[in-house]
Amino acid sequence: MMGTKVRSFSPLPHHISLEDLVPQDNFYRRLQARLDLSFVRDLVGPLYARGGRPSVDPVVFFKLQLVMFFEDLRSERQLMRIVSDRLSLRWYLGYDLFEALPDHSSLTRIRERYGLLVFRRFFERIVEECIEAGLVWGEELFFDATKVEVEANASMESRIPRFAAEAHLGGLFGDEGADEIADEIEVGDETSEPYAAADLDALPAASDRVLGAENEGRGDWISKDGKPDRTIVRGGYRRKSDYEVSPTDPDASLMQHKRGASRMGYHAHYVVDGGKARVILNVLVTPADVTENQPMLDLLFRTAFRWRARVRRVTGDSTYGTKEIIAAVEKASIRAYLSMADFESRSPYYGSSRFVYDAEQDLYNCLQGEPLRLYTHSYTERLSRYRADPESCNACPLKPECTPGDSGRVLMRSFDEELLERVRAYRGTAPYEKALRKRKVWVEPMFAEAKEWHGMRRFRLRRLWRVNAEAMVIATGQNIKRLLTFRGRGPRKLAQAQALRPPAPTPSANSRLLRGSHRRRSTPLLPRFSTGWVILRSSAKWNSTKFAYTAF
């Protein structure tokens, strides 16, 4: 006989709880057991008042961000609908069956309250967890970037002239609105007082306006959250985004799509560790008109300084193989496994490799033995120009293959030519070829994973700092996946793990709370500073600590 199911629901017994309804092998049970997010309360504590109505728990907010990552959701409204319908998600957030969930609009307000700095500290704390678990190697870094579109509402048809947007906002809000579109940063007139004689050895504080103004002028990409300086013009070239702006997302810029069409979007930059876990060590989002190699040096030195890593080699494609980047990397005693463009093969004339440089006389000798002598320097381009005698050059039988001009063959030599020759010598060696092959399977799949499974094909938020926060959450989720997979191996570098672990507070005369941090700094700094020394034994006084050097 065919059965018929009658829809009848009775109230749940009071003795039933979510602990009984959620399976023991559920993914979010594993995530809850492996990852403790209670540290976020210390990160956002200064952003809340001491009294008033209790807010949404910051731990719940960041758990919701992770749920959005793992479930590949595109909006807070959709997120809260899924959470209200899933028992496992309610259990992970700590909300009972009959307990009201936060409203989706509260998540947007909380994100605005926190800002990008909190998301970056949240990302860095997860990286610290990966380092303590032994997942970070630190000796090899891979750099790459990918194009990310914005939502469809920031379409090509929404573009207007930039001067019209500035004039419109200037008429509505005065100079404040125009400055927001023009991305102008003004430095206050107030300056800090000079240091006293007794404070000469003290480190500068974050409130030092002179130091802040000086650092602001250096144009660090990370401190400016990927914001470009549009007042800089190279060679008279002006970007199209300097003239046009989308009022929907003023920070997005034009980028060329693979199929030939133009889109509005951004560049997402990743710095990936060379260890087996492929942990992401740094993330930055810039407008699409910022080339991939421009923030590379800031990302490299920030990563090495922040994680106290002894970087020995960096790997990237030919986009990163510029003279400035290669010279800076090699001067830092880091091997630059960066592909360099071979311009000689594209030219029908003899390249500079056909000429022999004489370092003693500072000249080049051509194939016929004629010298090309130094005649000028270009300090802006960091080049030296060498030219042959026009009469000897015009009478040479190899002139049709050497130069089309009649004023003599000209060669240009970089001020850092020795470093460039060193990098050219890497080409063809086994470590160089292995690094380039490794890059294809190390960093490029990270972008494919983020785009296919975690919504990085299109940013759902607008404005530069918000898409940076969105990219931080995606990179954090990718690192958490590796933390759950590889955890249990133990730290490979004990000293590096101890350097990142917050020290136990000890009563001392000079212990003080660091600005912008919840950790206390005490006297024994030496045992937790170096990443190449393993601590064997430590006594009560740090002077008697025993160390042993190991070659990692």
Query: Is 199 inside a domain boundary?
Result: no
266 plus 290 within the same structural domain:
yes
Domain finish residue from 453, 485, 517: 485
Sequence-distant (≥ 6) Cβ neighbours of residue 72 within 8 angstroms: 453, 454, 455
For residue 234, pLDDT beyond 80: no
Query: Is 541 inside a domain boundary?
Result: yes
Q: Which domain holds residue 350?
A: 345-414
Instruction: Out of 92-106, 342-356, 463-477, pick the least confident.
Output: 342-356
Instruction: Out of 115-129, 141-155, 440-454, pick the least confident.
Output: 141-155
pLDDT (tens digit per residue) in 487-510: 655 555 555 555 545 555 544 433
Instruction: Out of 108-117, 445-454, 482-491, pick the least confident.
Output: 482-491
Contact assessment for residue 164 and residue 290, using Cβ atoms and an 8 Å cutoff:
no
Looking at residue 261, its pLDDT comes to 73
Looking at residue 489, its pLDDT comes to 56
For residue 390, pLDDT beyond 80: yes
pLDDT tier for residue 170 given thresholds of 50, 70 and 90 = low
239 plus 311 within the same structural domain:
yes
* Choice between 96 and 1, residue whose per-residue pLDDT is larger: 96
Looking at residue 433, its pLDDT comes to 94
352 plus 333 within the same structural domain:
no
Other C-beta atoms lying within 10 Å of the C-beta of residue 475? 27
Sort 177 into a burial class: Cβ within 10 Å, 0-12 / 13-18 / 19+: middle
Helix (H, G, I), strand (E, B) or coil at 431: helix
* Choice between 454 and 530, residue whose per-residue pLDDT is larger: 454
218 plus 292 within the same structural domain:
yes
Looking at residue 380, its pLDDT comes to 85
Phi, psi of 65 (to 5 degrees): -65, -40
286 plus 168 within the same structural domain:
yes
pLDDT tier for residue 239 given thresholds of 50, 70 and 90 = confident
Looking at residue 3, its pLDDT comes to 75
Looking at residue 410, its pLDDT comes to 92
For residue 21, pLDDT beyond 80: yes
179 plus 294 within the same structural domain:
yes
Phi, psi of 108 (to 5 degrees): -65, -45
Contact assessment for residue 504 and residue 309, using Cβ atoms and an 8 Å cutoff:
no
pLDDT (tens digit per residue) in 293-334: 999 999 999 999 999 999 999 999 999 999 999 999 999 999
Query: Is 192 inside a domain boundary?
Result: no
Q: What percent of the chain has pLDDT over 70?
A: 75
Contact assessment for residue 447 and residue 453, using Cβ atoms and an 8 Å cutoff:
no
Looking at residue 172, its pLDDT comes to 64
511 plus 468 within the same structural domain:
no
For residue 207, pLDDT beyond 60: yes
Average pLDDT over residues 345-359: 88
E strand or H helix that includes residue 314: strand 313-316
374 plus 250 within the same structural domain:
no
Q: How far apart are CA 211 and CA 297, in angstroms?
A: 21
- Gyration radius (Cα) of the chain, Å: 29
Contact assessment for residue 248 and residue 158, using Cβ atoms and an 8 Å cutoff:
yes
Contact assessment for residue 141 and residue 272, using Cβ atoms and an 8 Å cutoff:
yes
Q: How many domains does the chain have?
A: 4
Q: How far apart are CA 407 and CA 404, in angstroms?
A: 9
- How does the average pLDDT of the chain come out, rounded? 81
Cα dihedral 438, 443, 448, 454 in deg (nearest 10): 140
Other C-beta atoms lying within 10 Å of the C-beta of residue 47? 13
Composition of the chain by helix, strand, coil, percent to 5: 40, 15, 45
Partners of 144 in the beta sheet? 270
331 plus 365 within the same structural domain:
no
297 plus 379 within the same structural domain:
no
Average pLDDT over residues 438-444: 92
Looking at residue 67, its pLDDT comes to 96
CATH number at residue 274: 3.30.420.10
Q: How far apart are CA 191 and CA 207, in angstroms?
A: 10
CA of 245: how far to CAs of 143, 150, 165, in Å? 29, 14, 8
Q: How far apart are CA 387 and CA 437, in angstroms?
A: 40
User: How far is it between the farthest Cα atoms of the chain?
Assistant: 109
* Choice between 202 and 199, residue whose per-residue pLDDT is larger: 202
For residue 133, pLDDT beyond 70: yes
Contact assessment for residue 159 and residue 246, using Cβ atoms and an 8 Å cutoff:
yes
Looking at residue 308, its pLDDT comes to 92
| 407 secondary structure, DSSP code | S
Average pLDDT over residues 184-199: 39
Looking at residue 184, its pLDDT comes to 40
pLDDT (tens digit per residue) in 27-47: 999 999 999 999 999 999 999
Pick the most confident of 150-159, 404-413, 512-521.
Answer: 404-413
Query: Is 8 inside a domain boundary?
Result: no
Q: How far apart are CA 443 and CA 445, in angstroms?
A: 6
Instruction: Out of 87-101, 206-220, 510-524, pick the least confident.
Output: 510-524
Q: How far apart are CA 219 and CA 178, in angstroms?
A: 21
pLDDT (tens digit per residue) in 95-129: 998 889 999 999 999 999 999 999 999 999 999 99
